[in-house]
Amino acid sequence: MNITAKIFGISQVVITALMMNAQTNTAKLPGDPSLVSTKATFDQLISYDKGNFKYKVEDYFARPKASQFKISPDGQYLSYKEKDKDSKNHVYVKDLKTGKITKALEEKDDLIRSYGWLDKKRLFYTQDRGGNENLHLYAADIDGKNLKDLTPFEGITLGTVKLIKDTPFVVVTMNKNNKQIFEPYKINFNTGEITQLYENKDVKSPIDDYIFDKDGNLRAYVVLENGLTSKLYYKDLQTGKFNLLKSTDWKNTFYIASFNENSKNKDEAYVVTNLDGDKSRIVLYDLKKDAVIKEVYSHPDFDVSSIGLAGKNRNYELDEISYNGIKNETIPVSKFYKEVHEKLASEFGDKQFYVVSSDDNDEKLLIVVDSDKIYGKYYEYDTKSKSIKLLFDLMPQLKEEDMAEMRPIEFKSRDGLTIRGYITLPKEALQGKKVPLIVNPHGGPQGIRDDWGFNPESQLFASRGYATLQVNFRISGGYGKEFQQSGYKQIGRKAMDDVEDGVKYVIDQGWIDKDKVAIYGGSHGGYATLMGLIKTPDLYSCGVDYVGVSNIFTFFDSFPEYWKPYKEMVKQIWYDLDNPEEAKIAKEVSPVFQIDKIKKPLFVVQGANDPRVNINESDQIVKALRAKGFEVPYMVKYDEGHGFGKEPNRIEFYKTMMGFFAKNFNQ
């Protein structure tokens, strides 16, 4: 059984991530190191977070002792990450017959970002340098030998990776020949031999997505014409020629999620589309005839874009469909998966559960179970005996009965839009006490949304008696294209109105002390923190800007080469700086030009190697505020990128932030 995956083209990945480029110079620290606050400053802030708390910051943000369990394709081995005394997460392989455990992959200075099985004897992993996101793909035997860098090129960015089952090959995309565009390569993961599969020649109208079938054959590709029009070309299986199938505005959706390898008709595919409606839905499509065969699944309120397919053993049948609604929902389709889903639902009730790994014969399934109060537990499900056993509790120190409820909310914006989100309420709020609130706008901002489930930040805040508000403001994804597009060119404006309206809503419910409201977020959430302190200076007690944008102009100037083909899209999402009227708006919603309006305490946090939001964004706001006599604690980690991935850095950040909130809530 394949893991359910949302499938995006390169353009969607790049736009969603807003991947800005930062160059790391080993001879000189990035940014202005003289701006960084002293350890004594952070220690003083940390000291304010004091009380008789049942849980420490480490209980929420120390990495699990073991994690990321996976079954080998033949079912003979169990792989997992295990943390050592220095907080390094190495990959181990356990022989399920003999019980022998071998260290397969060693994590050193840089984090192992992801890993998995290539075949029954070989593993892959991805790794960058200090959070710069220039990922390389590596392969090694299960005993750690025969280690190879499969993409041994300096300065390249790895795009997508597709394993070709039952062969020694993977197909990857990377910008090896031209930093602006991605091309596909077939790599032998045993020998490292690389073959380029297709050329991407037109920089002005590049190919930004390649679609392969299960055998690694290029069957379709998407050209991004002039940055705004997506043109899907499909291969005629008789002539071998690629013909234009669909031409759509970039704002609309029509993409091949997977070919229907279960069908004798080789032109059948599962397609995600919203061309004839507001919400994305899944249809079975005949690509040669350019016609819908049948609708597979749709929802009136939420986009649906995820499918799970069986493997070769069950002829690639459709197993399930999933989408994020109020909670994550799974619709079982195949007879096999209906039986699995029924068994798991009877065992785990209303908790969320996911099949995250399986052997090729679907005899052993690894299941992760979570909820708003459970971080995650791994279970092994034997599909023959129908037995379920607990494999590992990721956070056994966090007791479910002590965790806070994450409650879905819905309200109307000031201009009549239906806005959804979540409020996590500490026990004090449920007992009738008005509590402090931390407003937590999400990143992105376009196409991203907050989901229901365990949130370590919200639970940490609740342990201190604070509520957390997460608003899926206009421009958030998952609620249809009209809702998302209603936030275009409204970043820092109506998108912020929605956040403010959410604050008003939860205050009106009687849960919140209106005089103790803070705002904190990362990436766009960091930008929203700065704009919140500027736009509504009396609403918030303080704010924490974590890797946030401060100046839209310099933010745009830091686009890397591989972002340039998408610049016209960014103009339509954010602001067109070449248009004088929009440039004026962009300046009005660039925090660095509005610092005189910031009156409340601010804490700024940055990863020095951040490739999405350059350190210059944080340096600017800190320098500008200090120049007018406004003191700003500023934390920079020089081995991190867009958010802190290393455990000691994460723990220090959250300890300091909790002290910062405690100080400002109790003044």
- Tens digit of pLDDT for each residue in 193-212? 999 999 998 888 999 999 99
Please classify residue 542 by burial: count the beta carbons closer than 10 Å to its beta carbon, then call 0-12 exposed, 13-18 middle and 19+ buried: buried
Q: Which of 115, 144, 112 is nearest to 128 (CA)?
A: 112
Please give the Cα distance from 517 to 503 (Å, whole number).
9
CA angle 56, 62, 66 (to 5 degrees): 135
Please give the Cα distance from 419 to 453 (Å, whole number).
19
Please give the Cα distance from 514 to 508 (Å, whole number).
9
H or E element: which one contains 128? none
Lookup result for tokens 């390389």: 136
pTM, whole model, 2 decimals? Answer: 0.93
Q: Which of 209, 207, 228, 248 is nearest to 569 (CA)?
A: 228
Which residues, at least 6 apart from 126, have a Cβ–Cβ distance to it below 8 Å?
112, 113, 114, 115, 135, 136, 137, 138, 158, 161
Query: pLDDT value at position 17?
Result: 38
Give me the DSSP letters along 307-350. Answer: EEE--GGGTT-EEEEEEESSSEEEEE-SHHHHHHHHHHHHHHTT
Please give the Cα distance from 316 to 360 (Å, whole number).
12
Q: Are strands 89-95 and 77-83 parallel, antiparallel or unpaired?
A: antiparallel
Please give the Cα distance from 403 to 457 (Å, whole number).
12
Query: pLDDT value at position 19?
Result: 33
Helices 494-508, 524-535: inter-axial angle, 10-degree rounding = 70
Is the Cβ–Cβ distance between 20 and 574 less than 8 Å? no
Instruction: Tell me the mean pLDDT per 10 residues along the chain, length 667.
Output: 34 35 56 97 97 96 96 97 94 96 95 95 94 92 96 92 95 94 96 95 91 96 95 97 97 97 97 97 98 98 97 97 97 98 96 96 97 98 97 97 98 98 97 97 96 98 98 98 98 98 98 98 98 97 98 92 87 97 98 97 96 95 97 97 95 98 92
Please give the Cα distance from 263 to 403 (Å, whole number).
47
Query: pLDDT value at position 560?
Result: 76
Please give the Cα distance from 153 to 174 (Å, whole number).
10
Query: pLDDT value at position 27?
Result: 54
Please give the Cα distance from 184 to 208 (Å, whole number).
11
Please give the Cα distance from 591 to 574 (Å, whole number).
15
Q: Both tokens of residue 466?
A: 């604070």
CA atoms within 13 A on the CB side of 359: 16
Please give the Cα distance from 571 to 558 (Å, whole number).
14
- For residue 77, the cross-strand partners are 95
Is the Cβ–Cβ distance between 553 and 577 less than 8 Å? yes
Please give the Cα distance from 387 to 512 (Å, whole number).
46
CA atoms within 13 A on the CB side of 448: 19
Query: pLDDT value at position 564?
Result: 83
Q: What is the chain's alpha carbon radius of gyration, rounded to the nearest angstrom?
A: 25
Query: pLDDT value at position 53?
Result: 96
Lookup result for tokens 């998108």: 495
Query: pLDDT value at position 4?
Result: 33
Is the Cβ–Cβ distance between 501 and 466 less than 8 Å? no
Query: pLDDT value at position 22?
Result: 35
- The one-character DSSP state at 33 is G
Which residues, at least 6 apart from 411, have a Cβ–Cβ distance to it below 8 Å?
418, 419, 501, 502, 505
Is the Cβ–Cβ distance between 119 and 73 less than 8 Å? yes
